Structure 1
Amino acid sequence: MRVTLLGTGDTTGTPTPGCDCETCQAARDRGVERTRFAVHVEDEVSGDALLLDFSPDFRTQFLQEDVPLPDAGVVSHIHFDHLDGLGNAYRLFDELPVYAADETDPKTGESVAETVASKYDYLDNVEPRAVTPHEPFEAAGFDVTLVPVDHPPLLCYGVVVKRDGAKLALSGDTSYDIPDESLAALRDPDLLLADGIVPAHRAEAHPIGGRHEDDSGVPRTFGTKHMTREGALALGDDLNADETRVVHVSHFYPADEAFEEPLAVDGETFTL
């Protein structure tokens, strides 16, 4: 299983348009990017390819990384930086199965799968397929499971992908408060991609600060929706991950921290 990180940034990406902060400037100087989130998974023997989330930067990502177009896709939740790239399916695919959760979201009154179907009803080649969280399904030859995480006010899901004994786990956009059943499903991955939007010392910048402090008082959640870097790494330890990369990274990291290990940048690849 070959994993390519197409997009490792948050909703504005890094560099952020119109921003001249030290971190965005350092990204430009280094020639690196963190576009909006997406992960490409490929079985190099069969050629099967799966896309996890549809970044608005879809076209740029696929041209930049030169990976094959997916045979199927998975949508974790309906925020635009994870969904709106699906519009790129126009004229690129004869058919594209897109898997998403079937649970009705009290906030929207419909499931993620229903939102995909209604928002992209004009794309005849997109085939929304509703799946039940915690029930494994096959997508492009991979064994996939959606697991509920904590990203209020919307329902959101982490993703587990398995093939030939290899296991990839994505935390999804989430706080550190992941349900126990989901933690069990995510456990023991070869690679964990964990949401870590800011370092813990930046939590004070949020109107409600940080949450889910560790024994030393370090917040593992920033506000309500995302983990801190420290939370992402703690989750990796909790799950016994062989390797953890921090994704969904914002430009609010100080420039001297923003490109240090284990923060991911676009284009990283892993063979599991």
Structure 2
Amino acid sequence: MRVTLLGAGDTTGTPTVGCDCDTCEAARERGVERTRFSVHVENERVDESLLIDFSPDFRYQFLREDVALPDAAVITHIHFDHLDGLGNVFRVFDSLDVYAADETDPVTGKSVAQTVSDDYHYLDPIDVRPTTPLETIHVCGLDVTLVPVEHPPLVCYGLAIEDPVTGAKLSISGDTSYNVPEASREVLADPDLLLADAIVPAHLCEYHPAGGRHETDDGVPRTFGTKHMTREGALDLAAELNAERTRLVHLAHYYPADEAFEEPLAVDGERYEL
């Protein structure tokens, strides 16, 4: 299983358009970037690949990384930075299965699958496949399981992706607070690689209107506001999941420049063989 981080950034990416903060300037100087979140998973055994989330930067990411167009895709939730690149299938794909959760979101009154079907009804190539969370499906020769996470106010999902032949396992936390349900943690546990949402370091919680949540015994916030994990929360989750390797993703340009490119914070283009 070959994993390529197409986009390791949050909703604005790094560098952020029109921003001259120290972190964005450092990214430009280093020649690195974090575009909006997306992950490419290639199964070399069957010569097929799976895309996790359709970044608005889809076209640029695929041209830059020179990876194969996906044979199928999964959408974790309906925020624009994970979904709005789906329009790129127009005149690029002949057909594409798109998997998304089938449970109704009490806020929208629709499932993620239904929202995708409704919003992109004009795209003939896509075939939306409603998928039940915590039930494993077989896609591109891989076992794929959507797991509920906490990303209020909308439903959102993480993923476990496992090769049933080699046993290689990738877990993706999804956009989530530290309060990942226990049933989801059990599915995500023991990955060879964990990609964990870690939008900012914990010390920046003092600047969020909602502060921090899910503090450690020492008072360190594991959740920034209500929607995303802090760096410290993501690393605690990685330890609890017994991840062999962890890369932090969905990163904001609010990381101070002297912390923004430290390990294990990811940048676009990283590749891992599992």
TM-score (norm 2): 0.98
CA distance in 1, matches of 2:19, 2:89: 30
Task: Give 1:93 deviation, angstroms.
Answer: 0.9
Q: Is the 8 A contact 2:49 2:71 kept in 1?
A: yes
Q: Tell me the SS of whatever aligns to 2:155.
A: coil
Q: Which residue of 2 aligns with 1:43?
A: 43
CA distance in 1, matches of 2:111, 2:80: 15
Q: Tell me the SS of whatever aligns to 1:93.
A: coil
CA distance in 1, matches of 2:262, 2:95: 40
Q: Which residue of 2 aligns with 1:144?
A: 144
CA distance in 1, matches of 2:52, 2:140: 12
Question: 1:130-141 maps to which residues of 2 (within 5 A)?
Answer: 130-141=130-141
CA distance in 2, matches of 1:187, 1:41: 19
Task: Give 1:43 deviation, angstroms.
Answer: 1.4
CA distance in 2, matches of 1:93, 1:130: 20
Q: Which residue of 1 aligns with 2:114?
A: 114
CA distance in 2, matches of 1:30, 1:268: 15
Q: Which residue of 2 aligns with 1:200?
A: 202
Q: Which runs of 5+ in 2 are unaligned?
A: none
Q: Tell me the SS of whatever aligns to 2:23.
A: helix
Q: Which residue of 2 aligns with 1:183?
A: 185
Give structure 1 regions of 4+ aligned residues with deviation exceeding 3 angstroms: none
CA distance in 1, matches of 2:75, 2:46: 23
CA distance in 2, matches of 1:85, 1:47: 23
Q: Tell me the SS of whatever aligns to 1:213.
A: coil
CA distance in 2, matches of 1:214, 1:187: 21
The letter for the 2-side match of 1:190 is D
RMSD over aligned Cα atoms = 0.6
Residues 172-181 or 43-52, more deviating: 43-52
Task: Give 1:105 deviation, angstroms.
Answer: 0.2
CA distance in 1, matches of 2:57, 2:272: 21
Task: Give 1:46 deviation, angstroms.
Answer: 2.4
Give the % identical residues: 70
Q: Is the 8 A contact 2:214 2:221 kept in 1?
A: yes
Listed one character per residue, the Cα deviations across residues 54-108 of structure 1 (whole Å, up to 9, x for unaligned) are 0000000000000000000000000000000000000111100000000000110
Q: Tell me the SS of whatever aligns to 1:24.
A: helix
CA distance in 2, matches of 1:149, 1:230: 18
Q: Which residue of 2 aligns with 1:82?
A: 82
Task: Give 1:138 deviation, angstroms.
Answer: 1.4
Task: Give 1:45 deviation, angstroms.
Answer: 3.3
The letter for the 2-side match of 1:121 is H
Q: Which runs of 5+ in 1 are unaligned?
A: none
